[in-house]
Amino acid sequence: MSSLYTQQGKNIRRTWLLMTVFLVVVIAIGYFIAWYVNNPGILYIAVAFSLLMNITAYWFSDKVALAATGAKEADAKQYLELHRILENLAITAGLPKPRLYVIDDPAPNAFAAGRNPKHAVVAVTTGLLSRLERSELEGVLAHELSHVGNRDILVMTVAVVLAGFIAIVSDIFLRMSFFGHGDRDNRNPILLIAGIVAIIVAPIAAQLIQLAVSRRREFLADASGALLTRYPEGLASALRKIALYPEPLRRANHATAHLFISNPFGPSTSLRASAQGGRFIAKIFSTHPPVEERIAALTQMRV
């Protein structure tokens, strides 16, 4: 029987495999565009640009996330108890205590960001602080610390950057095709059609893979967080309260949605979902797994 640790290893290996697939897709698109317009330099530009975007995302992902959500650093005196909870959990997890931020928003939610444990940040909303009991808050913070310890944040950020890059390159190529660039008279029509189809499908596939990475990581962070607190019911109760809140975050945006513990636009597949067909579509395109599935997994855990 597989344990939490073997499952953790499997998920990490699968995620890095997906990152490799992203890189191969970027190079393949660059190669096809270079072939189509008969300009080998485009391939080198595509590879260099993707590497540049990865480096930028690596160094500034936490600052971008904090600015996008309007997070402010949590005052050590005003939020003394919150600092203590996070510090105790960090010590238990064997991690440096992340910088702590607060978002002035009534919607309960939280996220973690940063390129590594030494440069990690954790942000919680005022709504989360006002609605959760201590054990529930510990569960949420343990979940976010698990993202930090498992290096989830960096991996998901790279996925977002590469998915966006694929979409941009695909759009550029389609525009070039529409306006008649490239010596198409000398091209193999079958290969040309296959390439155009791949260019159209690539950004859709990239987005779906990005969402899948995020969903798997949420299940892993739930399990790791529950193991850290030794009380899965705390996180399960917190997720239930977050899912039942009817309003989205005031500054919710698609660029940072996957970072939060729950969909900042409101759980698309939540405890309040109804039609099965709608649930299926929402599950495919949601950045987070269904809340009821996460709660069920937590309540079945034995720690």
pLDDT digits (tens, 9 = 90+) for 228-256: 999 999 999 999 999 999 999 998 877 67
8 A C-beta contact, residue 136 and residue 241: yes
Q: Whole-model pTM? A: 0.75
The Cα-based distances of 141 to 13, 73, 106, 126, 227 in angstroms read 25, 16, 18, 14, 13
Asked whether 125 and 110 are in contact (CB, 8 A), the reply is yes
Query: pLDDT for 145-203, tens place per residue?
Result: 999 888 777 776 666 566 666 666 666 666 655 555 555 455 556 556 666 666 666 66
Under 8 Å between Cβ of 137 and 100: no
Q: Hey, which residues are catalytic here?
A: 144
Q: What is the pLDDT at residue 279? A: 54
Which CA distances in Å does 195 have to 35, 46, 47, 201, 235?
10, 16, 18, 10, 46
Q: Which domain holds residue 236?
A: 4-299
For residue 4 the two structure tokens come to: 């939490």
Query: Which among 140, 108, 110 is positioned nearest to 127, based on CA atoms?
Result: 108
What is the structure's pLDDT at 166?
Answer: 64
Q: What are phi and psi for residue 118, nearest 5 degrees?
A: -75, -20
Helix (H, G, I), strand (E, B) or coil at 39: coil
131, 238, 260, 300 from 232: Cα distances, Å: 18, 10, 19, 9
Q: Which residue pairs from 248-254 have beta carbons closer than 8 angstroms and sit at least 24 positions apart in sequence?
A: 248/107, 249/69, 249/103, 249/105, 249/107, 249/109, 249/125, 250/105, 250/107, 251/68, 251/69, 251/70, 251/103, 251/105, 253/68
The pLDDT score that the predictor gives to residue 275 is 44
Check residue 197 and give its pLDDT: 67
Residues with pLDDT less than 50, the chain: 1-4, 184, 268-277
Instruction: Give me the number of domains the chain comprises.
Output: 1
Q: In what order do the strands lie in the sheet with 110-113?
A: 72-73, 99-103, 121-125, 110-113
How far is it, in rounded angstroms, from Cα 95 to Cα 268? 33
Quote the tokens at residue 93.
Answer: 């997890």
